[in-house]
Amino acid sequence: MDEVFAVIMAGGSGTRFWPLSRSAWPKQFLALADAGSGSAGESLLQQTVRRLQGVVAPDHVLVVTSHRHAQATREQLPELPPGNVLGEPEGRNTAPCIAWAAAHVAARAPKGVMAVLPADPHIADPVAYRAVLGRAIAAAREGGLVTIGVTPTRPETGYGYIEVGEALGAGGVKRVKRFVEKPDLYRAQQFVADGNFLWNSGMFFFRADIVLGELERQLPDLHEFARACQKQLAQGGGADEELVHSRYATLTSISIDHGVMEKAQDLRVVPGTFGWYDIGSWTTAYELAHKDAEKNAVQGEASLVDSQGCYVRGEAGKLIALIGVRDMVVVDTEDALLIMPRERAQDVRRVVEALKAKKATKYL
Amino acid sequence: MDEVFAVIMAGGSGTRFWPLSRSAWPKQFLALADAGSGSAGESLLQQTVRRLQGVVAPDHVLVVTSHRHAQATREQLPELPPGNVLGEPEGRNTAPCIAWAAAHVAARAPKGVMAVLPADPHIADPVAYRAVLGRAIAAAREGGLVTIGVTPTRPETGYGYIEVGEALGAGGVKRVKRFVEKPDLYRAQQFVADGNFLWNSGMFFFRADIVLGELERQLPDLHEFARACQKQLAQGGGADEELVHSRYATLTSISIDHGVMEKAQDLRVVPGTFGWYDIGSWTTAYELAHKDAEKNAVQGEASLVDSQGCYVRGEAGKLIALIGVRDMVVVDTEDALLIMPRERAQDVRRVVEALKAKKATKYL
């Protein structure tokens, strides 16, 4: 456990959960999933950290987020040393974020294993998850770039897929044949029927020395940056601050998927089933929420008359009354209210874009 | 003009306009109609008083309302002498309210003409209205109980009707054959086709001595109460306070329609057309409101995407965003929010009843 580090990527902007998520208070800070027992009120980020108990020690958990959210992140995670929260001067996609985190890990343990995890999935079965996590960490310790692939339960078009190849020894580890972008429904159905496709969970596992080697080969500016940080960090905590401030904005902005994984030479996948949900929209939040006999999911004070299938979320001291309303999302905050049919959840960005165009920043 | 008084009945509880109207702030205080030019922001009550300009002098305008709303009424109508606002200890329907007002009128002018007017209709054409008002006042001066009947423009099932009889001299005045309660659609269609039916506007005109005579014949306790008040009032303003306080709750609680008009001996009607709307629900408020190209009526800050036919009413500093919403009413206040299809406006009372049952008084 000593040389295992978690790197939690918490850089989300949270457009899809407007008006609850704002630029100042993104998705990972929200308690969007109330399905897990005992997790009521915890934010997605807090759940993600808590889920690592027994696998990664708190002082080995790093969180990379926007510099604007670093303070709030430290407040949500008081068990982490403050220096473990890395505030990016600006978002440059996931590859620079992982390069920076790799420098921090390498400074403490050059061959330390990094479990790179998104801050915001919901995991219904944390016990099964931890077992898969253990297998992925063990696989990464041996080398290569490892990912977790989730056994698909439906032809989901909102996720990317991984086609698996031959088995690699024990522990269910398989070679990755290829990554597939989000498919259309027809292809998604084929993938599920085929049986050789897994959902790409966006969780990656590798040793610091190995990912830095891949960066040197594929994205040399990130490698050079990471090694420079590592050198500074050898001098003591926070010593890379100036370097990050001056260099971060110039780094190649690319995802770890496109920048590293797709052209990596040794890609492995650990299949798993642990009730994994990417909470990508209010629709998913509704699906995960506790529902009453009329299929309404209500948080806050509400009076529902002849209404079914609604997701209603208000704040304390405010009553939300619905009469004859079906399958709608109603999210009410102090200064903004969103109403839409559940199936229109993908269009929340249109409101956010309209607000940006109007420069109505106070609502963003 | 000297001996013409207006008696504005402002006793509404405003259930149908929840959550904007509350027990503490009923319908007549709301600016529900923005259709009239120059009336933006004025409450229905203020519009009703302003509409009388040139017909009834402000110090001849009496308003009868709940004692709980007397102060707010005085604040909304600073042009009225404070003593002209009569605060009922409790609501006893319209007959006691008119009896009390008749006492006030009779104390100042025993044969003064009373124009008894509801506080909350919308009148699109105030010029035409004032002409009809003048004819009704002139008719009442000659005697009898006079009402204004509105020429129907559609088979409305939400209004009562008046069947007219023979013409009585000049000025278009006709005898009332009978009052008809709200009909079903089939009968309403017959009434419109027949041509001898008018909408009952709920506006009544009579001399104080004549209505007191009718009360003596039909509702003697109200007559006795009114005469006692009149006697007290002869001693000076506010002198009937104690009497009202001790007697009002014991008076026969009945409407002027059932208690007096239906069995009155000399009933006359003045027909008129002046764009009269009983704003009975959010549906009417939508119909009267200014609408954009997508048929949305919006008051407050809103961002509407793919939405049509909606009535949206919010408060300053709050953004209401709709995506893909059709024909809905959205009324948002600081502590309560109502969402329903426009056609469900009659069911607002069900929410109010549910709140009463739950004793959620802070939302009532």
Angle value at C-alpha A120, between A98 and A64, nearest 5 degrees: 30
| pLDDT value for B238 | 62
What pLDDT band is residue B30 in, cutting at 50, 70 and 90?
A: confident
Domains present along chain B, CATH in parentheses: 4-278 (3.90.550.10), 282-363 (no CATH)
Q: B323 touching A, CB under 8 A?
A: yes
B37 pLDDT higher than 70: no
The span from the CA of A281 to the CA of A170, in Å, is 37
Contacts of A320 in chain B (CB under 8 A): 336-337, 339
Choose among B317, B324, B351: nearest Cβ to A321: B351
Mutate to test the interface with A, among B337, B351, B356 (most CBs of A within 10 A): B337
What pLDDT band is residue A21 in, cutting at 50, 70 and 90?
A: confident
B33 pLDDT higher than 80: no
The span from the CA of A230 to the CA of A236, in Å, is 10
Q: A352 touching B, CB under 8 A?
A: no
What pLDDT band is residue B89 in, cutting at 50, 70 and 90?
A: very high
Chain A: residue whose CA lies nearest to B315 = A335
B234 pLDDT higher than 60: yes
Contact B320 A314 (CB under 8 A): no
What pLDDT band is residue A1 in, cutting at 50, 70 and 90?
A: very low
Distance from CA of A326 to the nearest CA of B (A): 10
- Per-residue pLDDT of A176-185, as tens digits, reads 999 999 999 9
Contact B337 A341 (CB under 8 A): no
Choose among A318, A350, A360: nearest Cβ to B337: A318
Contact A339 B340 (CB under 8 A): no
- Per-residue pLDDT of B127-175, as tens digits, reads 999 999 999 999 999 999 999 999 998 998 889 999 999 999 777 899 9
Residue predicted with more confidence, A31 or A245? A245
Chain B: residue whose CA lies nearest to A328 = B325
A278 pLDDT higher than 50: yes
ipTM above threshold 0.85: no
- Per-residue pLDDT of A148-163, as tens digits, reads 999 998 998 889 999 9
- Per-residue pLDDT of A235-265, as tens digits, reads 875 688 899 999 999 999 999 999 999 889 8
